[in-house]
Homo-oligomer: A and B are copies of this chain.
Amino acid sequence: MARYTVKQVAQMARISIRALHHYDQIGLLKPAHTGENGYRYYGREELLRLQQILIHRALDIPLAEIGAILDDPGFDRLTALESQRTRVAEQADRLASMLRTIDRTIAELKGDRAMKDADLYSGVIDSQKQAQYEAWLEEKYGPEIKPEIDASRGKMDGLSEDERRAMMDELKSIEEGIAEGLRKGIPPQSHALDPMIARHRDWVQARWGRSAPVSAYAGLADVYLAHPDFVARYESIETGFAEYLATAMRSWAGRQE
Contact = CB atoms under 8 A, between A and B. Distances in A.
Interface of A: 2-5, 7-8, 11-14, 48, 51-52, 55, 58-59, 76-79, 81-103, 105-106, 109-110, 113, 117, 121-122, 124-125, 128-129, 131-132, 135-136, 139-156, 159-168, 171-172, 179, 182-185, 187, 203-211, 215-216, 218-233, 235-240, 242-244, 247, 250
A60 B148 CA distance: 19
B161 A226 contact: no
Q: Chain A interface secondary structure, helix, strand, loop or mixed?
A: helix
9 contacts: A2-B184, A11-B244, A12-B239, A59-B98, A85-B106, A131-B165, A132-B164, A149-B239, A224-B229
A143 B215 contact: yes
A210 B87 contact: yes
B143 A237 contact: yes
Contact of A219 (B79, B105, B141): B141
A252 to B, nearest CB: 13
A55 B148 contact: no
Contacts of A237: 139, 143
A169 to B, nearest CB: 8
A146 B88 contact: no
Contacts of A85: 99, 102-103, 106
A2 B84 contact: no
A113 B82 CA distance: 14
Contacts of A122: 48
Nearest to A100: B162
A207 B221 contact: no
B82 A211 contact: yes
Contacts of A206: 86, 90, 93
